[in-house]
Each structure stands twice: as structure tokens, then as C-alpha cells.
Amino acid sequence: MHSFSKVIEGASFSPVSQTDIRYQPQQLICLDSSGYIARVIERTEADYATVKQAAQANDTLTTLQPGQYVLPGFIDLHIHAPQWPNAGLALDRPLNEWLDTYTFPLEAKYQDVDFAKTVYNNLVQELLANGTTTALYFGTIHNAANLALAKACIKYGQRGFIGKVAMDNPEQTPDYYQDASAQVAVDQTEQFIQQLNDLNQTTDLKQTPVITPRFVPSCTPASLQGLGDLARKYDLPVQSHCSESDWENGYALEHYHMRDADVLDQYGLLTDKAVMAHGTQLNEHDYELFSNQQVAIAHCPISNVYFGNAVLPVKRVLAHHIKTGLGTDISGGYSPSLYQNIRQAVMSSRLLQDGVDNQQSADQRGVVDSAISVKTAFYLATLGGAESLHLQTGKIAPGYLADLQVVSLQNDFHTETADNVFEKLMYQTTKNEIEQVYVRGKRVK
Ligand code: GUN
Ligand code: FE
């Protein structure tokens, strides 16, 4: 009989669509030796008992306690690793001032690789402890530090997508923190691709290099062009910020006489492997472009409260069949937890629907049909992010990567239905309740 490398017995919640979840009260989640879910065996299936016994005999069975639930690991679709020391700082400043006064001076410090190692080792462990099994990271301009981030991911067992940040526009970046030229920005990006490929020879948990123009204002046309060429040459993911705020949206209009998204598109950066953060100021024209070119949006609801100047209409975006996931945007967002971002996604969507100006009549105040459910927000944190990164994960089903978290429900009073349990898990889980985390079948918490 077939033996699995690990079998987890317990209850689970998994997304099945943008609006629905599936609850399984008891099943065997059977992992193979390459870190995928090979089978999910329901309590009623004929070989449940024999598979369980075999796993017990091989000492590969993990049985969950009542009150514990398996969920897919979360995917942070937009996070700035170097900004972790600033989480929560200066969020009252407008975006450009926040960048100049707080963010660029901190990022410049990653010239020092020891500093980078200290912060990145701490951050990767913190994210795993919060149930984040995959992260799409912005690094800094410094490749030695970016490599330290990749090594931290490998050391602690997280799937990282990592970008060397390109920012060569002397008018929008400080002398002490910029790529010396477009050529340098592009060459260093290509060097980082090679360095990661070399590092990947030493590990099963591959780290993926990402083409990372910081955003249109930070880059020159020449670097945007060169980075678009690299994305095509290596067929790699792309990440940037797009129409993130009134200021950023206005920058492209003023300097290129084009919309932000069209500028990125003109340089070949809006591919089906592109993930654009925020997009709070995208219009219908941009949605069409994203939809046609299969560009994903990383929705960062906490960050958007501070810098977005609007609420991303998630429901409208999904109706355009635009791939959408969830990001923390550390440190535009203060929290490393995707649970917190799930909550904020729901709350912001409700404010969008009802509106916020109490001097307006109810029918004038908001945008009808904008509220999303917590199930939709859960979808964003799991399957939505996985699709954006072309990863077979985010769902508990055969053929999917075994990226999982086991969470416990503490407040178990008056919890009558599976939906009650699910809602409490989404609203109340802190890292204390996240008891086990697996990436590619390997236990990392
Ligand atoms: N736009 C360009 N850089 C950044 C950044 O570091 N954070 C956020 N939120 N937006 C940006
Ligand atoms: Fe960001």
C-alpha cells in the first residue's frame, strides 16, 4: 500500500471560490515526499482506517485536537522587507514625504549586510509565525542584502519572491539611495537573477527573482525599458506600485501625459506575471487593461487607509476578472498579519458601500454593492494570491502544495456552525493561535 511522507488528521477550511469555503470536519490530508498534497481522504472513504493505521505505524501521523483547524497558508502579495523596522511609524505623513523622510533613509542602511541579516532573519520568522507561507518581497537596491533575504527565506523555510528594487530617477530619489544610472539598475537586476539562480542550486525551496521597478516616479524611461526587456528575456514576474495615491497617479499624467498603468504597459511591464500594488486610483480603462493582460492587483487595505486616498473596490475588480490577492505592504501597513488585512479588507469595503460623510443622505453616501464577505477576503489571502503568482497552492486539495497552517479557536463559546467557527478564526486569530505552519510539507513553526 502507498505510504505518505506525512498525514494530518483533523478539520479544515479551504476556499473553493471567491465567495465560498469548504469545511471538512474530519479528514486525512496526505502529503507526498515532494511537498504536495497527494490525497485528501474523507472520514467515509473505505481506506480511511488503513491509511491512518499505516501512518501511525510509520510515525508520520499528526492528529489535531478538537478546536484546531487546518487552513491553507497565507500569501503576502506585497511587502517591503527592509521597512520592517519602521512598521507603524509616520503613517500620518503623505506618501512622498513618508518615502523621503522615513523610508529611503531606512532602506539605505541595507548597504550594511549584517544589519540586513538581523532584520531579515527576524522578519521571515515573524511572517511564518503569522501563517504567511509565501511572500512577494521588495528588497532594496543592494544585492548583497537581497541575497541575505533569500537566505533567510531558505533558512526558515518560506517561499520567497524577491526583487532588487530599481530606482534611478535622480529627481525622485535621494543621492544617498539610488541606482547610479538606468544601466546600473538593469545590470544589478540581471546580476540578482543570476545570484538567486545559483543559490537555488543549493535548496529545494526555490526563491524566485522578481523584476522590481519601484514605481513610475522613481524610474527613468530607460530603466523601465530595460526592466521590461529583462522580464521578457527571463520570463519572470514583475512587481511595482500602480495608481497608488492621487499624488502617484498625478505624477504619470503630468510627466508622461499618460495614465500610470499605460506607462508601465508601454515598457512591457504589464505581463500576465505582473503584480501591481494598491491600484486605488485605477479607472475603468485601467481595469480593462489589467483584465486583458491578466495583470494582478495586490490589495493592501491597511496601507490604503493611510496612503491610498480611496478604497479599492474589490468587488468591482473581481467582476472584471482581475486576479487579486492581499498584501501587508509593510511598512505602509503597520501589521505583518494577513489576518489583520483580511479584517481591514472587509471593513474598508463596508465603508465604501455605506459611505462616510454623515451630511449626505444614505442613498448618496456610498457605492452600492461594494461590501465583501470575510470569505472573499480569505480567498484573496489564499487562492487569489496563488493565482497571481502562478502557484499551485492556497487550497487544500490533491495536487496543491502543502502550504498549511493549523490554528486553534480559543473563544469557543456559542460557536454553533462551521460558519461561526470560520468567522471567529478570521476575526480573532493572532499569532498565538497559529500553532503549526508547513511550507511544502515541511514544518516551519
Ligand atoms: N511607492 C513607492 N515606494 C513605496 C513604498 O515603499 N511603499 C508604498 N506604500 N508605496 C510606495
Ligand atoms: Fe508598497
Q: Which ligand is nearest to the CA of 140?
A: 1
Which residue is closest in CA terms to ligand 1's atom 3?
Answer: 214
Sheet holding 238-242, edge to edge: 74-80, 132-138, 159-166, 208-213, 238-242, 274-278, 296-299, 324-326
Q: Which of 78, 155, 143 is nearest to 389 (CA)?
A: 78
Ligand 1 centre to CA of 408 (Å) is 34
Superfamily of domain 6-72+396-443 in CATH is Urease, subunit C, domain 1 (2.30.40.10)
Q: What is the 3-state secondary structure (H, E, C) of 320-350?
A: CCCCEEECCCECCECCCCHHHHHHHHHHHHH
Whether 6-72+396-443 and 74-389 share one fold: the answer is no
DSSP codes joined into one string, 216-239: GGGS-HHHHHHHHHHHHHHT--EE
Å from CA of 223 to ligand 1 middle: 18
Nearest-atom number in ligand 1 for the CA of 333 is 9
* Residues β-bridged to residue 41: 28
Residue 241 C-alpha to ligand 1 middle, in angstroms?
A: 7
HSE at residue 293, side-chain half, CA atoms within 13 A, is: 23
Which of 242, 244, 264, 330 to probe ligand 1 with, by most ligand atoms within 8 A of CB?
A: 244
Residue 365: the pLDDT is 97
**Pairing of the two strands 159-166 and 132-138:** parallel
CA-nearest residue for atom 8, ligand 1, is 332
Atom 7 (ligand 1) nearest CA: 332
Residue 278 Cα, ligand 2 centroid: separation in angstroms?
Answer: 8
Mean pLDDT by 10 residues, the chain (445 residues): 89 98 98 98 97 97 97 99 97 94 98 98 98 99 98 98 98 98 98 98 97 98 98 98 96 98 98 98 98 98 98 98 98 98 98 98 97 98 98 98 97 89 97 98 97
Q: Which of 96, 215, 242, 275 maximizes ligand 1 atoms within 8 Å of its Cβ, making it the mutation to test the pocket?
A: 215
| C-alpha cell of residue 65 | 485536537
Give the relative orientation of helices 143-156 and 113-129 as an angle to the nearest 10 degrees.
Answer: 40
Ligand 1 pocket, Cβ-based, cut-off 6 angstroms: 80, 99, 103, 214-215, 241, 244, 303, 307, 329, 332
Cell of 239: 512587481
- Ligand nearest the Cα of residue 86 is 1
Q: What is the pLDDT of residue 413?
A: 86
> What gap in Å lies between CA 223 and CA 179, rounded to an integer?
10
* 8-state DSSP, 69: E
What is the distance between the terminal CA atoms of the chain, rounded to a whole angstrom?
30
Query: Which CATH code is given to the segment(s) 74-389?
Result: 3.20.20.140
Calpha distance 166→146 (Å, rounded) = 12
Render pLDDT for 396-440 as a digit per residue (tens, 0 to 9).
999 999 999 999 999 888 878 999 999 999 999 999 999 999 999
Q: Which amino acid is at 4?
A: F
Report CA(202)–ligand 2 centroid distance (Å).
Answer: 30
| Domain coordinates in residue numbering, the chain | 6-72+396-443, 74-389
| Best residue for ligand 1 mutational test, from 169, 241, 302 (most atoms within 8 Å of Cβ) | 241
- State in Å: Cα 378 to ligand 1 middle: 24
**Confidence (pLDDT) at 2:** 67
Cβ-based neighbours of 2, under 8 Å, separated by 6 or more: none
